[in-house]
């Protein structure tokens, strides 16, 4: 995943490179205490929409991916996936 920023419309962009060669792009901004990124370039008639939600707690980032079918409620795409990235302190050399 590569995170970037579009100054023109103040939008953050996430580009995801999948193992099968697909490239997915998400765009979004902070919403309350969460960072929410919605998948872009999805066919307008596609029944399933995707988003990534990042929650910051101290030095830890919690990542989940959610899907909505036919504009229904958002649900985890895989309940066993809840990625966490923790900032670590550099050890003295």
Determine the pLDDT at residue 37: 94
Determine the pLDDT at residue 60: 79
pLDDT tens-digit map of 19-58: 888 898 999 998 888 999 999 976 667 788 899 998 888 7
How long, in residues, is the chain?
A: 93
Task: Give the N- to C-terminal CA distance of the chain in Å, as an integer.
Answer: 30
Rounded to the nearest 5°, which phi and psi values hold at 64? -140, 155
| pTM > 0.85 | no
Closest by CA to 47, choosing from 27, 66, 71, is 71
pLDDT tens-digit map of 49-65: 899 998 888 777 888 88
């Amino acid at each position: 995943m590569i995170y970037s920023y579009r100054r023109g419309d103040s939008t953050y962009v996430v580009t995801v490179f999948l193992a099968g060669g697909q490239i997915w792009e998400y765009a979004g901004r902070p919403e309350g205490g969460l960072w929410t990124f919605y998948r872009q370039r999805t066919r307008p008639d596609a029944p399933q929409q995707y988003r990534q939600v990042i929650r910051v707690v101290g030095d830890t980032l919690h990542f989940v991916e959610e899907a909505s079918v036919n504009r229904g409620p958002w649900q985890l795409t895989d309940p066993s996936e809840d990625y966490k990235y923790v900032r670590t302190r550099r050890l003295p050399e």
